[in-house]
Amino acid sequence: MSGFFVWLAGLPPLAQVPVVIAVFGVVVGLIVFFIEVAPRAGRGYSIMRLAVAVLVPVAVIGVLGVQAAAAWVLILGAVLGGGMFLLDLRARKGNGSLLQLAAFLSPALLLLVIGLVYPALRTIVNAFLSNDGTQFVGLQNFAWVFSGGSTGFIAFVNTIVWVVIAPVVTTVLGLAYAVFVDRSRAEKVLKVFIFMPVAISLVGASIIFKFFFAYQQGKQIGLLNQIVEWFGGQPVSFLQHYPLNMLLLIVVLIWTQTGFAMVLLSAAIKGIPVDQVEAAQLDGANAWQQFRNVTVPGIRPTIIVVWITISITSLKVYDIIATTTAGQNHTTVLGYEMVKQIEILPPQSGHSAALALLIFVLVTPFIIYNARNLRKQREQ
Amino acid sequence: MATIASPSATTARRHRSEGGTLRRTRIRLSSPWATLAAIVLAVLWTIPSFGLLVSSFRPPDAITTSGWWTAFANPQFTLANYVNTLKFTDTLTVWQSFVNSLTITIPATLFPITLALMAAYAFAWIDFRGKDLLFICVFAMQVVPLQMALVPLLRLYSNGLNLFGVQVFPGLNLNSLSSSFAEVWISHTIFALPLAVFILHNSVSAIPRDVIEAAKVDGAGHGHTFLRLVLPLAMPAIASFAIFQFLWVWNDLLVATIFAPGSNAPITKLLTDLSGTYGQQWYLLSAGTFLAIIVPLVVFFALQRFFVRGLLAGATKG
């Protein structure tokens, strides 16, 4: 496989696309063909099943590349494949059913185990190892994160600020906008303006705002500083002063996420039963009372989903920091610092892993709460 | 309102829409302020990107010596920034990074959808012991932030895997080859799988049982059912997820920073580097940004309906 990828890398980039897709297509085609013919009866098909069960694991291991000293891995693969075949012979649902199942599931499951389960477990282990990964150091990496003054601690504190501010402001703005444009004649057009930033990368959004916040000697080219000047103030180098710089970077996230919040909340508002709105109107409720007593209770589950989703996004912010300040001037966050710690020399893999684990720990309660919220919604 | 007498569904609907019109006029009369507030917000929302867009068409000197809002008093617009930016060389040219973005994104969209659809089919239409538990495990993997997987996965690619002192997997040996996209393709594929399996399972399992049973009665095997029946019927969900995944990968910076930092870097990665190195070269950054944004915007306007659906489905990814 390595050889194939090396050869592929020699082609011009766009030429690599059809080649790799064709190879992938052939492999998937073979798998689906095998799935189709696997359960057929007859000696020929039995032999084919045996051959596939034994040879495919061997071939996969061989293709990944295995050293002579580890030839036992190949034998292990063959034995496992043979075992699969025997199990399949005795499968309740007939010959081939088990092999079919394996063919459908194993590509995705193998990739997940190799690329997500193993690395995540590895990161948990690394969080308790020294920065070069050689010795067990207990909680030292976490002590580093929580010792005042380390970049890890700055990142932690800033991340908390992000999670507190960004989701609330975004949800409120998104809700306000959804209510404002609801049933207005220009609803569709007005929505596009807010929604468009959702499609843009955070990198693009960051540069757009970096220009908006720009500061220089003499004539200002950044609109924000020009506005400051118009009101008689002194231009500020916005991205150098903490905590102002962090707050302005949070604005970038709010700018990109409000459209997302608005679309979800707007859909929920349209789902509120008409009679509830009419009843409120008959009772003489004014617009604010209607909003508080009918709209908000009616869309509460959606508000929670939006708020949680943006909280999770805020916890993982990387792009905005990388593009604007590179973590300078006290602006670093967990998602950024985690990458930074392995990019510096020598790489601080223990610190990085501890920060990654911290993100995981912070994200988990949100996801559990969200899952519960969704289940409750479905039960209703 | 004379039709209300007949209680059919259509008249009920018409009744409701008439009620809606009535209410709409009432509300619209009472809320010109709301519309005004919305317009103000919409303008505020657009000004930052509009400013950079205008700047991208101004001569480099003009951008750095006068505000873009003065450009209309003394119009001087040019396409030169775009031409020069495409040719601009850092570690690679901006044009090359644009091509890299396409090279990364197309396979990284196609692969996870294909593999996830196969898994989703098995979870939906093949009964086996431990199915629910396995599905929950895959579903739960959405919880794992990318950040948890990045570093060990990178080491796995470059150093391989040792088990009990024996090198079981020697790695991909692509360290010295910064023109290879294998690592970034595989990584994006893996990171997309949990969500893709979940979303496609929702749609595949919603196919009526009769349809699948009928195919089985006609003698179709699982392979045939998968290709001829499930694939076309799941197309709307596939399209929504494909758009979501395409934009996610196109806009991604984190995965690219780790797995494609060299001459295989996509435009997001190159822009971030340029922003650090040439932070004051606004002709370059403005044109570069809009070159990077143009693809998502085209997708956004061309496929808005699918886009919203895909976006809502994939909201928690990452």
Could you give the CA distance from residue B245 to residue B231 in angstroms, rounded to a whole number?
18
Q: Which residues of B touch A2 (CB under 8 A)?
A: 170-174
CB A334 within 8 Å of CB B146: no
Spell out which residues of chain B touch residue A18, defining contact as CB-CB under 8 Å.
Answer: none
Which DSSP helix (H) or strand (E) runs through B105?
helix B94-125
CB spacing of B297 vs A199 below 8 angstroms: yes
The CA-based dihedral angle spanning residues B296, B120, A111, B314, taken in that order and rounded to the nearest 10 degrees: 30
Is the per-residue pLDDT at B213 higher than 60? yes
CA distances from A202 to A224, A367, B252, B296 (A): 20, 23, 8, 12
* Average pLDDT over all residues of chain B: 84
Angle between helices B94-125 and B182-204 (to 10 degrees): 40
DSSP states of A19-40: HHHHHHHHHHHHHHHHHHHTT-
Question: Which pLDDT score is estimated for B48?
Answer: 94
- The residue-averaged pLDDT of B232-259 equals 91
Reduce the DSSP state of residue B262 to 3 states and report it: coil
pLDDT at res. A194: 92
State residue A69's pLDDT score: 67
CA nearest to A126 within chain B: B152
Q: What percent of chain A stands above pLDDT 90?
A: 50
Coil, strand or helix at B315? coil
pLDDT confidence of residue B18: 43
Q: What is the pLDDT of residues B82-140, one digit of tens each?
A: 999 999 988 889 999 999 999 999 999 999 999 999 999 999 999 888 888 999 899 88
Predicted pLDDT of residue B7: 35
Question: Which pLDDT does position B2 carry in this prediction?
Answer: 32
User: Quick check: helix, strand or coil at residue B280?
Assistant: coil
Residue B172 scores a pLDDT above 90: no
Q: How confident is the model at residue B15 (pLDDT cuts 50, 70, 90)?
A: very low
**So what's the pLDDT on residue A211?**
94
**What pLDDT does B3 receive?**
32
Partner-chain residue, chosen from B185, B268, B285, that has the shortest CB–CB distance to A201: B268
pLDDT at B317 over 70: no
Show residues of chain B in contact with A264, CB under 8 Å.
312
Pairing of strands B161-163, B166-169: antiparallel
Q: Read off the pTM.
A: 0.89
A127-143 pLDDT, tens digit each: 999 998 888 998 999 99
**Residue A212 confidence (pLDDT) above 90:** yes
Q: Residue A68: its pLDDT value, please?
A: 65
Q: What is the DSSP string of A209-224?
A: HHHHT---SSS--SHH
Q: Taking a C-beta distance cutoff of 8 angstroms, is the pair A154, A332 a contact?
A: yes
Give CA–CA dist A360/B148, Å, rounded.
Answer: 7
B163: β partners: B166
Cβ pair A130, A218 in contact under 8 A: no
In this predicted structure, the answer to whether residue A17 has a pLDDT above a threshold of 80 is yes
Instruction: Please name each of the domains of chain B with its CATH number.
Output: 94-313 (1.10.3720.10)
Number of neighbouring beta carbons within 10 Å of residue B314? 21
Cβ-in-10-Å burial (0-12, 13-18, 19+) of A368 comes to exposed
pLDDT at A57: 86
Greatest mean pLDDT among A157-166, B20-29, B75-84:
A157-166
Q: Which residue of chain A is at minimal alpha-carbon distance from B298?
A: A199
Q: At residue B261, does pLDDT exceed 60?
A: yes
pLDDT over threshold 50, residue A270:
yes
Nearest to A333 by CA among A151, A206, A141: A151
Comparing CA positions, the residue from B18, B30, B224, B275 lying closest to residue A184 is B30
Burial of A155 per CB tally in 10 Å (0-12, 13-18, 19+): buried
Give me the residue label for tokens 């399972």: B201
| pLDDT band, very low/low/confident/very high, at A205 (cuts 50, 70, 90) | very high
Contacts of A114 in chain B (CB under 8 A): 156, 190
Which range, of A127-136, A272-281, A347-356, B300-309, averages the lowest pLDDT? B300-309
Listed range (A295-309, A355-369, B173-187, B258-272) with the worst mean pLDDT: B173-187
**Rounded Cα distance, A281 and A289, in Å:** 10
Q: Which pLDDT score is estimated for B315?
A: 59
A177 vs B38, B138, B224: nearest CB: B38
CA A278, chain centre distance (Å): 41
Do B66 and A221 count as a contact with CB atoms less than 8 A apart?
yes
Per-residue pLDDT of A361-376, as tens digits, reads: 999 898 888 878 777 7
In the three-class reduction of DSSP (H, G, I as helix; E, B as strand; rest coil), residue B205 is classed as coil
Given a cut of 70, whether residue B8 has pLDDT beyond it is no
Out of A20, A34, A119, whose CB is closest to B153? Answer: A119
Candidates A196, A211, A349: best to mutate against B (most CBs of B within 10 A) is A211
pLDDT tens profile A280-302:
888 888 888 888 888 999 999 88
| B204 pLDDT above the threshold of 70 | yes
- List % helix, strand, coil for chain B (3-state, nearest 5): 75, 5, 25
Average pLDDT over residues A26-48: 89
Q: Which domains does chain A have, with CATH numbers?
A: 2-126 (no CATH), 143-379 (1.10.3720.10)
Angle at A300 between CA A296 and CA A302, to 5 degrees: 120
The minimal CB distance from B69 to the residues A67, A190, A223 is found for A223
Would you call A35 and B190 a contact, using CB atoms and an 8 Å cutoff? no
Banded pLDDT at B19 (limits 50, 70, 90):
very low
Q: Does the beta-carbon distance from B118 to A105 stay under 8 Å?
A: yes
Length of chain A equals 380
Does the distance separating the beta carbons of A342 and B271 come in below 8 Å?
A: no
